[in-house]
A and B are shown apart, each in its own frame.
Chain A
């Protein structure tokens, strides 16, 4: 009786080594032309966006500590996975985030103060995706958005908005979720539907190694990328701390999707260097040695080394630091100006059409609250 296969491995596709050298792994070679096609301004933009993301994390955490936000959800360490994949998206594409992709939203034109308003408890999200770079709302019930994104991609097919042969107009969908979310039924059902309908879609798993306090080994005994094949679609494991490979592999998968070649699953290996949220304490469940290991693989440091090797000047990096600080300061200033909604907001837009309970209860609450007017004097 032959031994059963119990050794599940997948190669990690990488272009940029942790030391900052462009040295493609065998599986990465096919992606080199996509990187070579990028102009210097775009390459610098990657660095700039990663730096902005990291600076915004500091500002967000400080705002939370000062009682201005209920919560901050940091992306520290995951900048390359997010920035590379976000830049792979074309204007006509749609992005369904989880709730940690602040820089992705900013790249698509979303004002980060909209995210802070959500985390401040002033809104439930509230931005219109179509007016914000097709960047959809955050979804807090894990993996729910995977199904929405698949349905949206089905709609693109039914509309004839994809697979016409014109990559400038053919549309695709990119959906983000995490290693913890891969255990949810919805994430798996989305892969079933995507494969069945051959949706124009890329599933992008940020495997940051931890679902709050539970390691990815509890979610899966095998590389998450291998799940793609089980559902009938390509699964690719990439070095998620390599912004170039994150861009190139996502770009290639999106181009295939828009060309009618169906969905792809990407697992980006990265690391949540900070806490899950400001409510978390990672010192209770992970070791300093592990954090140090990942610090050696920092996505921004390696990319800076590579850019320096290509001749980027010190003044460029200074300029980016200054710009990032300015953005963070502006966001912080405007976060403190977020207006708290008035009580009518409770009842607005619960339904699209008139609803007797909304009318009745809004009127009752108003009468109740105004009955106290004058008591204060």
Chain B
């Protein structure tokens, strides 16, 4: 077992080396003398940042295609692909018929032909018609071909609550895909990460589920157009603290930072880790943090039962047992269908619910 853990640590050390904690846009040294001129730091919303990242990918590789429902002239229901159809044409930006299984299934055929399809699933709750193609085909075709081909397909999924919408429009289905071997699953929390992670996901030769926290589409933030700062699958400490570690991904990172702000006013120092990658999970920064704080609260919008949070709790208990001063505690959506939106603020983990768990962790 130890050999495996050593390997894990090596991977995460490499990931960490690229960036100091709490510096989301930390510049990496230039590696290519022919790199384009610096374009600087811009303030963008996540929706615009993903749009810019998609545009870079389309410009950089003619095999990159966008596929989805209403992503053409409309630019997608969230306008993430706005303008790309006009710039790249309908053979690079495909408004497909309305059938998710066929979008993924035909993208698989396109990938077999050497293309790199980037799919938009319109809403989280509408990915399930494609579940079979994703889990029985996409995830396994490389191993089924004994490595003779790759499946460089990205599936973008606007996900999560906080937008007050109707049923099937606020779900967090990421655990289903993290559970499936052969897939990679990531979720950015900031415009900067979104800009880079979408390009890194497209560059990956493995299938990547790219979960976009739709409640974070509109808030603006700095995007360093010159430097990513971290590899796709690295987690990152986004706020340093000493008393309790909080970990989450996507929109939950903003909730955790709010909780840490509130706690700071009460004299408590909370560290916040942004998971960024849900499969594989980069445990290095998380374990380092827990080894210092001795306490961990995992927060997620998804149902808690058999969730990413469950996996993290089990793994941290295995690997940081002697550092833990309290059991790993989970704050999740309840194990019910996502309720009518009028009740979503009670369903979704809030800063107060996170702080309630922090109190419990500190009571041990």
Contacts and interface: CB of A to CB of B under 8 A. Distances in A.
Given A144-B132, A185-B129, A151 B101 contact: no
A9 interface: no
A115 B134 CA distance: 24
B323 interface: no
B8 interface: yes
A151 B142 CA distance: 17
Contacts of A151: 105-113
Contacts of A156: 113
Given A147-B108, A151-B107, A151-B112, A350 B101 contact: no
Interface string A352-365: 11111101110110
A125 B137 CA distance: 13
B39 interface: no
A141 B132 contact: yes
A125 B206 contact: no
A150 B1 contact: no
B267 interface: no
Contacts of B182: 350-351
Interface in A323-377: 348-357, 359-361, 363-364, 367
B148 interface: yes
Contact of B3 (A125, A154, A159, A364): A364
A124 interface: yes
Given A144-B136, A189-B101, A192-B102, A356 B7 contact: yes
A155 B105 contact: no
Contact of A148 (B65, B108, B140): B108
Interface in B209-263: none
Interface residues of A, number: 50
Interface string A143-165: 01011111111111011000000
A125 B1 contact: no
Contact of A155 (B1, B110, B145, B146): B110
Contacts of B113: 151-152, 155-156, 158-159
B40 interface: no
A95 B106 CA distance: 15
Nearest to A153: B109
B112 A126 contact: no
Contact of B206 (A144, A186, A353): A353
Interface string B108-144: 1111111100000000000001001100110010111
A54 B117 CA distance: 41
A124 B132 CA distance: 18
B38 interface: no
B96 A367 contact: no
A130 B146 CA distance: 13
A22 B31 CA distance: 72
B312 to A, nearest CB: 14
B105 A186 contact: yes
B109 A349 contact: no
Contact of B109 (A149, A196, A361): A149
Interface size class of B (residues with CB under 8 A): 35 or more
A364 B4 CA distance: 6
B337 interface: no
B35 interface: no
A364 B318 CA distance: 15
A159 B65 CA distance: 12
A154 B145 contact: no
A141 B137 contact: yes
Contacts of A196: 96-97
B137 A359 contact: no
A190 interface: yes
B5 interface: yes
B344 to A, nearest CB: 31
B258 to A, nearest CB: 31
B340 interface: no
A149 B150 CA distance: 16
B146 A352 contact: no
A351 B136 contact: no
Contacts of B280: 355-357
B25 to A, nearest CB: 25
Contacts of A192: 97, 99, 102
Contacts of A136: 112
Contacts of B181: 350
A150 B113 CA distance: 11
A146 B105 CA distance: 8
Contacts of B148: 126-131
A360 B318 CA distance: 15
A123 interface: yes
Contacts of A189: 97, 99, 101-102, 105
A155 B112 contact: yes
Contact of A152 (B102, B112, B145): B112
B4 A186 contact: no
B36 interface: no
Given A141-B137, A148-B109, A363-B7, 12 more contacts: A137-B144, A141-B136, A149-B109, A150-B109, A154-B110, A155-B114, A190-B102, A349-B145, A350-B142, A351-B182, A352-B206, A356-B11
7 contacts: A149-B109, A154-B106, A158-B91, A189-B101, A192-B97, A363-B7, A364-B3
Which 8 residue pairs spanning A and B have beta carbons closest together? A151-B109, A147-B105, A155-B113, A360-B4, A151-B106, A349-B147, A189-B102, A152-B109
